[in-house]
Structure 1
Amino acid sequence: MLKSTMKNLFFPSLRSQQIAITAFAFVLFVAVISLVLHTGTKKSVTLQVNGEKIEIKTSAHTVGQLLDSENIEVAEHDLVIPSVSTPIEEGLSIRWEQAKQVLIQLDEETTKVWTTDLNVGKILSEAGVDLQEHDIVTPSLNSNIEENQIINVQKAFQLTLINGGKEIPLWSTSTTVADFLKRENIQLNEHDRINGKMEDLVKPDSVVEVVRVEKVTDVVEEPTNFAVVTKSDAKMLKGREKVVQDGKKGSVERKFEIVKENGKEVSRTLLGERVIQEPQKKIVAVGSKVVVASASTSSKKSKAVVSRGTSAPSGGKEFYVTATAYTAHCNGCTGTTATGIDLRSNPNLKVIAVDPDVIPLGSKVWVEGYGYAIAGDTGGAIKGKRIDLHVPTKSAAYNFGRRQVKVKVID
C-alpha cells in the first residue's frame, strides 16, 4: 500500500511542472514571433539634422511621427523636407533644418528675420532686401552668417565730388567726409583744403569740394622808373626847359610767393627784392630869366598895338594862326604871364599867349598887324595854331575880334 500510495502522489506533481514549462515556452515563442514580426515592419530612412546625416530604422508612419520619436520639436520657421505629413517609405531621405533669428541693420532701421540659411546673400534675398551695385553689405554677400552676427546694409546714394575744379558724380553711403575721401583714395597734400569740415556727414546730393592749393616761389626781374629832378637855370628864359641828363630805368629782382587754387593764382606776396641796377635820374633845367618886352606906342592908344604898317622880317618859321586879343584885366586874369611878365604894370608890352608845343615860350615873334612880340604867356584855350595878343584896353581887345594872321618865329 505504501509504494502504491507514494507513486500516485509523485505523478501529479510532475504533470504540473510539464504544463508550466509548456506554457512558458509558448509565451516565449509568441514574444519572439512578435518581435520578429515587429522588426520586419520597420523601414530604413536617412535623417539629416542641421547638416548631419544619420541612418535609422523606424516604424513611424509619417515624417512628423519620426521626428517626434527622435525628440525633434519642429518650430514654425523650421525647414522640413519632405513635409511632416509625408508617409514613411523605405530609403526616404528626410532633412530638418532648425530656423534661427537674424538681425538685419538697414541704414538706421533694424529688422528681425527667421531663416534656415547661412549665406548672407540668400538671407537678404529671403528678407526682400533690394540691393544695388554700390550698396555696402557687412559681412560680404558670399560669406556665411555666424551665431549672433548682425548683417549690416548701407544703401548707397549719389553725390558730387569736385576735385581740383573737376566735377565727378560718385556713389557713397552715409559716412563722414573724411571716410568718403579715404574710400575714394583722395589724398590731400600739405596745403589742400576742403570746403566744409572733415567730420561732416555726406548725404544724398551732397557736394564735397577739394581745393588743390599750391604755393610756389617766383623770381622776376622788373624795371624801376627813374626820378625827374629839376633845377633852376637863370640863363634860360622863364618857361623854357632843357634836358641836361637823360633818365635811365634801373632793374630790381623781386621774389614772390604765389598761391594757386585749382591752378589759378589767388595771391602774390613779396618776400624780398634785390637791386640789380640803380636808375639814372633825369635832370631838367628850367629857365628862370624874366624878359621885358619893348613896344612902340602910337599917338592913338587904341590903335597902338594893332598897326598893320610893320613889315614882316626876313627869315624865320612862317605859318598862319587864329588870333584873338586879351587884356591883363580880363576875368580870371592875374596880370602876370606864365613867364613872369607883369602886364598890369606894363600895359603896352607886346606879349602873346601861345601853345608851347607850337611856339616855344620865350621866342621872339612877328605877328601880322601886331608887330614884334615875345611869346611870354599861355592859356587854357590856346591850343595848336592859335594865339592870344595882349592889348592895353578891353575896347582894343573887342575891336580886334578873331582873325587869321601870319606869324613868324624869329628866335
Structure 2
Amino acid sequence: MRVNSKKTLTALLASGLITVVIILFLALYGFNSKEVYLVINDEERVVKTKEDVLEDLLAEQNIMIKGHDEISKRLDAILIDQDKIMINYAVPVLIKADGQSDVVYTTADTVKEVIEEQNIELGPQDEVSTPLNGKVIKSLEIKVTRVETAVEAVQTPIAYDVVTIEDPTLQEGKENIVQEGSDGVLLKKTEKVMKDGKIISEKVIQEVVQIESTNQILAKGTLKPIVKLTNASPDVAEITVDGMTFGYKKVLNNVKLTAYDAGLKSTGKSKGHPQFGITYTGTTVKEGHTVAVDPNVIPLGWWIYIEGYGFRRAEDIGSAVKGKKVDIYYDDGNFVEAFGTKRGYTVYVIGPEKP
C-alpha cells in the first residue's frame, strides 16, 4: 500500500509541474504580445505581434515602405501595446507648369496640397486643369496655365483731311493752300489676354483723342480767263426763243441778277444832278432796255438775252457789277428794293446789233 502511495504522489507532482510550466509559458507569451493599430492610406486594421521594433513588424506583415512614402514613426522605433502607426503611400503625379513637365511622388490628399508642396505659386488668373480640392490619385495630371491680362497704350496719328474750297478770285487751274494741315494724336488702349505667354484675345478698351487734327484748306481757282469779244468774234451757236432764232457769240451760265434805278441809293445821283439818269455810255436809262454789266465780260453797247427777262442792251457799269453779274434797270425804286439778288440765270451775248 505505501509503494502505491509514493507512485501516486510522484505522478501528481509531475503533473502539477507541467501545469505550472504551461501557465508560466502562456503568461510570458501574453506579456510579450501586443496589439498595434496600422492605418494605411486611411484604412485601419489591428494586428497582434510579439515584435518589438517597427521595422520587424512591417516585415512580419509584408508591408514595404519606399523613399517617398510617409510613416508616422522611425523604422527603428520600439513598439508598445496599443501603438498606432500611420502609413501613407506616395503616388506618381505629372505636373506641367512654366514650360516643364515633371513626375513627382506625393502623399498629399488634394491638388492644392500638391501644388503647395512643389512651391508653385498661383496668380489670381492662373488656371489649373483639375479642381484644387480634387482628390489625388495615381498618375493624375495637373496642368497649370499662366494667365495674364496686360493693357498696352499706343499713340497713333490721326490723318488730317483736305478741304477744298472754290476761290473766284483765283485763276481757274490754280491752287493755293489757305491753311496747312496737321495730324492729330489718338491714344488707344488695348487689353491683351495671354496664356503661357501667347496672346489669345485682344480688344480695344479705350480711345482718346489727345490732339485734334487740323484740316488742310485748299483753294481752287474758278476764275475763267476773260476772252474779249469783238465784232469779228464769230457766233458759236444759235438759239430760238419766242419764235425768234438768233446767233450768239458767248453763253454765260449761273449769272447773278440784281436791279437798280436812277436814284441816289443806286447811283449816288439825285434829281437835278446833270448826270442823273445818264448811263456810262452816255445814253439815258430806260426800263426794259438798259442793263449795267462788267465790260470785261460783256462789251458795252452789245445786246444780250437774259433767260426769263428778254433782250437788254449793255449801256452802263457799276462798282458792284463784276464778273458774271447783270444789273437790270427799273424806274421804280421800291421794285428795285424788292428785287434782291437772283442766281443761276443763263445769259446769251449776241453782239452790237439787236436780232
Normalising by structure 2, report the TM-score.
0.46
Looking at both structures, which has the greater relative contact order when contacts are Cα pairs under 8 Å and sequence separation is at least 6?
2
Q: Which has the higher strand share?
A: 2
